[in-house]
Amino acid sequence: MTQNQLDKKSEAWSALFSEPMSDLVKRYTSSVSFDQRLWQADIEGSLAHAGMLAAQKIISTQDHAAIEGGMKQIRDEIESGAFEWKLDLEDVHLNIEARLTQLVGDAGKRLHTGRSRNDQVATDVRLWLRSEIDLIDGLLASLQKALVDIAEQNVEVILPGFTHLQVAQPVSFGHHMLAYVEMFARDAERMADVRKRVNRLPLGAAALAGTSYPLDREMVAKTLSMDGVCQNSLDAVSDRDFAIEFTAAASLAMIHISRFSEELILWMSQNFGFIQIADRFTTGSSIMPQKKNPDVPELARGKTGRVVGHLMGLLTLMKGQPLAYNKDNQEDKEPLFDTVDTLKDTLRIFAEMVGGITVRPEAMEKAALRGYATATDLADYMVKKGLPFRDAHEAVAHAVKAAIAHQVDLSELPLKVLQEFNPKIEKDVYEVLSLRGSLNARNILGGTAPAQVRAQIARHRARLG
């Protein structure tokens, strides 16, 4: 047999075709350059399948042992870098199968009994994504812990809370950090929920209709620690909604990162001066020596668009596909892989960067005083004196006008001036008008009072371990 004939026999469908695939088509259809990362999942899934085939007496115990030995050698070769990935073999699955057959002969050829690449690749992607979700869960926890740490260090620090980017009310800086902890906690919940639907076994669906071999799919699912099997063979091989759902959850996590990034960028600017990011997370300018640029938050903000774009791409990929499997689905891997890589890298660097943030309390408090942040507190004070809220709201608006005219804070207006807006105002109003008094007054579940912030910190620490 010639080398050309040997090469043709390595192609799983070559007997039907009268001419070899063109090099251009090989390059166009090949996925081995990027789906190599599925190799561990492919070996894991294949070993579980082989064990089941042996248990069901579909292959012999000798073939099973040979497959296990061959897969061990392949694992060693890939880990050492000695494995030769071949473009002609198109993808990770055929590369591993061809090497297995080279090592153990006919036993390797029997491994594919009762399965197709369609259910094989769907299984591999699910196994790989499951492990990546577990890693992401740990990274989300690390970021939350870093935010809880900085929150605990700054419970008493007063930050101007904004709506419409206008000074609204004073809040604890720690309270502000915990808002992001809540967001990332929900991201972790979403990932855990997605994992349940990822962790289902397509193997055994074969090409699209199931198989005539007496497979024990539940055994394979148990071996692979999966939560169950896909119940419809057509659906099992053709849908990628689990990848879309993951990318949607990843997009939300990146959007939370992007919102946080925007605030860090604003706060670090000279116009705010609320924080400083450690030098190792910033860069300079090639022309302006005074610059220290927040490149990490800026780049994360940009990478958010990249991940959201992958979500749109995957949705579009699936929207027009008839049942069952179509080659379109080869295009699910690169956006999915890049989404995982981008999210993991971003979470990892942000957990480190948060630990290097220096807070500037004086700048924050000064900014809070500029915006009449205690105006609502004055209105609430008047309501407690018997004035209807809408009337109190109107009276405080006139008081703010007076403060602006005198270029002072509300707390600096003389008592006589304040009493012009409501004669029931007394000296105790100045405690209400202080930033600290405003902060302490919001002692309600979920509020910004330091006592509540500390309670939330304790809750998060118990939850995160």
Cα separations (Å) of 113 from 18, 61, 70, 110, 212? Answer: 26, 15, 17, 6, 10
Residue 327 identity (one-letter amino acid) = K
Distance of CA 253 to the CA centre of its chain: 4
CB 170 within 8 A of CB 439: yes
For residues 329-366, one letter each, b for 16 or more C-beta atoms within 10 angstroms of the residue's C-beta and e for the rest, the string is bbebbebbbbbbebbbebbebbbebbeebebeeeebbe
How many residues would you count in the chain?
A: 465
- CA separation, residue 443 to residues 95, 166, 318 (Å): 63, 23, 49
Query: Is 164 one of the annotated active-site residues of the chain?
Result: yes
Distance CA 285, CA 301 (A): 19
CA 172 to chain centre: 27
Task: Determine the residue type at 44.
Answer: E
Q: What is the DSSP string of 255-303?
A: HHHHHHHHHHHHHHSTTT--EEE-GGG-B--SS-TT--B-HHHHHHHHH
Q: How many Cβ atoms from other residues are within 10 Å of residue 145's Cβ?
A: 17
The question of whether 285 is a catalytic residue gets the answer yes
- Pair 460, 140: CB distance under 8 Å: no
- CA torsion 375→380→385→387, rounded to 10°? 90
Helix (H) or strand (E) holding 409: none
Residue 357's H or E segment, with its range, is strand 357-359
Instruction: Give whole-number Cα distances, 211 to 13, 115, 417, in Å.
Output: 19, 8, 87
The dihedral region occupied by 372, where left means phi > 0, alpha psi between -120 and 50, and beta the remainder, is: left
Q: How far apart are CA 64 and CA 183, in angstroms?
A: 48
Three-class DSSP category at 166: strand
Residue of 18, 164, 212, 286 marked catalytic: 164
Spatial distance between the Cα atoms of 324 and 235, rounded to a whole number of angstroms: 7
Catalytically annotated residue among 14, 225, 269, 285 = 285
Q: Tokens 């050698």 map to which residue? A: 73
Beta bridge partners of 158: 172
Catalytically annotated residues: 164, 285
